[in-house]
Chain A
Amino acid sequence: MLLGVDVGGTFTDAVLLDGGEVHTAKVPTTPRQESVGVMRAVERVLRRAGAAASGVDVFAHGMTVGTNALLEERGATTALVATGGFADLLEIGRQNRPHLYRLCAPKPTPLVTPERRFEASERVGPDGVVEPLPGDEPERLAAAVEASGAEAVAVCLLFSYLDPSHERRIAEHLRRRLPGVHVSASHEVLPRFREYERCSTTVIDAYLSPLLGRYLGALGEAATDAGLPQPLVMSSSGGVAPAGEAARAGAWSVLSGPAGGAVGAGLLAGLSGDGNALGFDMGGTSCDVCVVEDGEVRRTDEREIGGRPIQLPMVDVHTVGAGGGSIGWADSGGALQVGPRSAGADPGPACYGRGGAEPTVTDANLMLGRLGGGSELAGGVALDVEAAEHAVGQLADSLGLDPRETAAGILRVADQEMVRALRVVTVERGVDPRGFALLPFGGAGPMHAAAIAEELEIGTILCPRAGGVLSALGLCASERRRDTVRTVMMSEGEMTAERIAATVGSMIEETGAGLDEARPRLTYKLRYAGQAFELPVPGPPDPDPAELREAFEGLHGERYGHVDREGEVVLVDIELAMAVPGPAPRPAAAPGGAVERGHRRVLFDGEWIETPVLRGEPAAGSEAEGPLVFELPEATFVVPPGWSTSVDEHGTIVSRWTR
């Protein structure tokens, strides 16, 4: 049996896969001690399935410990060792201000305070060592770090991606001399050029690792006590690693949560579709989108979390502040805005009846019949239509619109925000969304899917059966994986087949240690000499340089509309993923027969239509035409007129645009 447990902002979800049989459980998240909620979810899902802990083969875990600690600045007391003259690099960053017109909008607080920044007397340049590191310098630095009371230290020296000798000597000495202090060295975390981004990533790694060590240690003990195997932890790369390894790689933890959803979307896109889908996870406060191509989640290595860059190859999950709790309001120019303010889970939307007075996306869905009045959401919340109407009505008055128009407007504006998010990960990255299916999940995703698909001219929606717990399902399916990137900066003359193969060989040796069945996946990042941004070209471990160039120029022409046949091409980075394929679960559809039929009025395109409502999980093979509403155990799927649906063997409701 495969067990996946995903910790979200509001709920902790568990999925137990026994062959094709899917069992799920949802419990409230326990914010300060996530492992408590995790073990409760485990207990509940095992009880529901009537299974024993000893029958669990894989226990995979997605967490928000690292993300939250970073956003709330609750990480370890951290020191930094930098090249002489560069101790303030972390605070200066790239010198741009966060908001063009709000002059005093704060920059993110540096995670290392000025008195814990230490400078090493040394210098490396693009051609090697310029000023040698004196023999006693590592000891002087270790004493200073120790005296500063730091629990963790990041070492980031200039040009260490080319020549790590100084950085390595300092890091090794710190590890020997201060065994209780976590040491992150930039050439190990991220051997890529651009010192600020590398330094920021390394500092985050140091800042989070001690905390993760404690959390995963506690979880490991709890797992042992419960008779479960040791947890595998989801990393931002979209693969899992043993807890011990994850605890030493803090920077890889920040997308642990969303990565599970992305992998889940990848799994379902392959099982229920042709492998190409846009994953779209809408919850209470935000919406995460990602691209799945041929079953693989698309990755990026340029990302900021809370204004701090992390340049590791992570799943390309783009987040916007549009969720069920996003609040609609009228601005000073008389336009309707939705979000980024959210009513959150508490007090929640007006219709939760817990004191929320402002109209939210959920209130609008309820008013228009898309959500059922009196029905209960997954968290056991009863919905109050009158409270929703009252809140939306007040906004309607200030806009001079009627309440129904206003509710429809809130949905359109929220949909637009999500369309924009999907455009960022598709058209802005050179991907045409029309060749993809839309795969909505999260509590609110399936309610908005059709409108978004129509806007993006997407003809297929894949609404997964376990959409409410897809992240946990994704954890069960994850591959065992380790990633690395190395800046090699080879000019066209240096780019010989032998040299590339030798570099790749040494990378595989270092990264693949202990991963015997792993297969290497390589991405070569190239650009024209003089440009600053690379395009990624996949290839074998021993690529032909001429073929790399050809593939690069093809991409460049496609993306930017021009090619420079005489321009010199540079191989900047090599990205390597060593991956052992994960289990390939095949969730099955519900046995059927449990679907309750009803109907209610739902507003489609300005018209109230008496619409069939199917409550429960539909059986494989059942077919229907929109308009129609599926009330699934953890989500509601709204199917407008013009869409037809059929349920496949995995329980996915496959909808197609028929006009």
Chain B
Amino acid sequence: MDPIALQVLVGGLRAACDEMGATLIRSAYSANVKERHDCSTALFDPAGELVMQAEHIPVHLGSMPDAVAAVLGEDHEPGRSWILNDPYRGGTHLPDVTLVSPIFAAGELLGFAASRAHHADVGGPTPGSMPAFSRTLEEEGVVIPPTVAGKETLEKLASRMRMPRQRLADLRAQEAANRVGVLRLRELCTSLGTAELREGMAEILAYTERRTRAALAELPDGSYRAEDVLEADWDGAERDLRLRLEATIAGEELRLDFSGTGEQVEGNLNCPLSVTKSAAFFAVRVLTDPDGPPSAGAHRPIEVLAPSGSLLNARFPAAVAAGNVETSSRVADLVLAALSQARPGPAQGQGTMNNLTLANDEFTYYETLGGGQGACPEADGPSAIHVAMSNTLNTPAEALETEFPLRVRELALRRRSGGAGTHRGGDGIVREIEALAPMRFSLITERRRHLPRGAGGGEDGAAGVNLLNGSPLPAKAEGNLAPGDRLRLETPGGGGWT
């Protein structure tokens, strides 16, 4: 396919994915989707390779292909979609529910449309389904293996979750998004012809691969190591889990070997391999080809190895709620740190999503907070943003207080929390929320004891702080709030760069 037709097809597919995303966000009910855009939409070729994605959330980019792979071998027919959230069969963590729809034209499989959304609740003992201290997958909610998404199945699944009407409505929003994807790919097929569309999708993958290979070839060959920790502060104890990486650049290929990383644990910081890969691909893209089209071609020159049964390639029945949100951030930090030895990269950012869930029998509310970005070789790190695997919006106080028994007491920049340097690290956020009714809270945070590191001679960023009525809480915490209680999060600053 010539370079011109290629650009034209890229534009058409990108518009289709964007339209899928807009449909999902606009008709959704979960605050996670509608206010925070914690969702992704994508199109795949018949072999299950990701050809194009609407770019909302980086952590979904590298992990969606496993969801399609999980249903690839099934018998497909037009109009029969598949649903799943099992982290060991194509999912990431249970709240992320994925719907996959095959796309046919004239009886032939053209590819798949997929949408993933973080649902407000997927059942289990903890409202909001983001428990701080789960020990097995079953304690985190309803596990959905790849299943045909018939009307009755969806109703049955929703009935095992809190607020089933909202769950069903969100699933219908995902169906609507997939319908748009199916329609648009069929239209492209009609205007180009099946053969040309297939060739075009293959060429997009090859093209993205070429771009990534060209960027990798510019990095000096060699092996680069990095090490970091997670804060596994449960049962009242402080302990560190060690993560290791050896990154080897050879010509235009890259191997990321996480051997030496700790075993999976009886907490929920474990990751299925798809989350590890996703975080690794994200970091490579930051350093190689930030503007390329989001297709799986970029992943072809990269090999990701993590020992089976380790934190980064966990096996059933390990709990994974925090793996997707927190461990993934650390994996990105490791890859950035290792490759920064080959070419100067950014200092560490806040390295956490600061997950906060508030809930009682009448509502569940989940949010993640931004913080400081580490400074880059050419610029200051921005303040008060999501730094790595997330890019979700905050929920406006006026939306939050209208829907839930909560009052936001403060939303401010945490000044001077970013590390000094030639370029400064970004500042974190201060957010204080008051409970107006009895409720449970759950906090999953990182970088409360270990500071985001500066790069070169740049200073470290400030560690994050969690406070309940002024008293410190550990990085992971759960408990009850009475009316008038105030939870205050001060998120980490980014490291400086010198």
Binding site for B on A (CB under 8 A): 85-89, 91-97, 99-107, 125-126, 130, 158-159, 161, 193-196, 330-337, 399, 401, 405, 408-409, 412-413, 416-417, 419-420, 423-424, 427-428, 489, 528, 530-533, 556, 559-562, 564, 567
Contacts and interface: CB of A to CB of B under 8 A. Distances in A.
Contacts of B374: 103
A121 to B, nearest CB: 13
Of A193, A330, A331, which is in contact with the most chain B CB atoms at under 10 Å from its CB? A331
A531 B373 contact: no
Contact of A420 (B3, B15, B166, B369): B15
A489 B402 contact: yes
A68 to B, nearest CB: 25
Contacts of B387: 97, 103
18 contacts: A85-B411, A93-B384, A96-B385, A101-B286, A101-B291, A103-B387, A104-B382, A159-B401, A195-B397, A333-B207, A334-B210, A399-B3, A401-B3, A416-B8, A423-B15, A423-B19, A427-B15, A489-B402
A401 B2 CA distance: 9
B380 A335 contact: no
Contact of A104 (B29, B35, B166, B346): B346
A451 B19 CA distance: 23
Interface stretch (B95-103, B170-178, B463-471): B170-178
Contacts of A196: 396
Contacts of B382: 97, 104-107
The 3 closest A-B CB pairs, nearest first, are A101-B290, A532-B34, A104-B376
Contacts of A530: 29, 166, 169
Contacts of A409: 2-4
A561 B401 contact: no
Interface stretch (B20-28, B220-228, B254-262, B300-308): B20-28
Contact of B409 (A85, A104, A528): A85
B412 A88 contact: yes
Interface in B105-156: none
A158 B413 contact: no
Contact of A428 (B3, B18, B423): B18
A193 B73 CA distance: 48
Contacts of B409: 85
B27 A560 contact: yes
Contacts of B291: 101
B8 A194 contact: no
Contact of B215 (A125, A332, A531): A332
B7 A125 contact: no
Given A331-B211, A412-B7, 5 more contacts: A88-B413, A103-B381, A399-B3, A528-B169, A531-B28
B58 interface: yes
Nearest to A562: B172
A126 B27 contact: no
Given A125-B401, A416-B7, A533-B34, A332 B214 contact: yes
B420 to A, nearest CB: 16
B58 A335 contact: no
Contacts of B26: 531, 533, 559-560
Contacts of B31: 532
A413 B9 CA distance: 10
Nearest to B6: A335
A306 to B, nearest CB: 16
Contact of A561 (B18, B179, B383, B392): B179
Nearest to B8: A416
B429 A102 contact: no
Interface in B56-83: 58
B483 interface: no
Contact of A332 (B22, B27, B211, B385): B211
A102 B380 CA distance: 12
Contact of A94 (B22, B179, B394, B407): B394
A334 B213 CA distance: 12
B385 A126 contact: no
A562 B176 contact: yes
A158 B397 contact: yes
Contacts of B264: none
A103 B19 contact: no
Nearest to A107: B382
B466 to A, nearest CB: 18
A417 B4 CA distance: 12
B393 interface: yes
B378 interface: yes
A424 B11 CA distance: 12
Of A92, A196, A420, which is in contact with the most chain B CB atoms at under 10 Å from its CB? A92
Contacts of B289: 332
Contacts of B58: 100-101
A104 B381 contact: yes
Interface string B378-418: 11111111110001111011110110000111111100000
Contact of B7 (A94, A97, A413, A528): A413
A489 B402 CA distance: 10
Contact of A532 (B35, B166, B214, B379): B35
Nearest to A411: B4
Interface string B154-172: 0000000000001001001
Contact of B346 (A103, A559, A562): A103
B283 to A, nearest CB: 10
B440 interface: no
A331 B379 CA distance: 24
Of A97, A412, A528, which is in contact with the most chain B CB atoms at under 10 Å from its CB? A97
Contacts of A335: 3, 6-7, 10, 207
A102 B27 contact: no
Contacts of B411: 85-86, 88-89, 92
B292 interface: yes
B389 to A, nearest CB: 10
Nearest to B29: A530
Given A96-B392, A104-B376, A107-B385, A194 B290 contact: no
Given A103-B346, A104-B346, A420-B11, A94 B393 contact: yes
B208 interface: yes
A531 to B, nearest CB: 6
A489 B401 CA distance: 13
Contacts of A533: 25-27, 34
Contacts of A336: 3-4, 7
Given A88-B411, A104-B375, A556-B27, A413 B369 contact: no
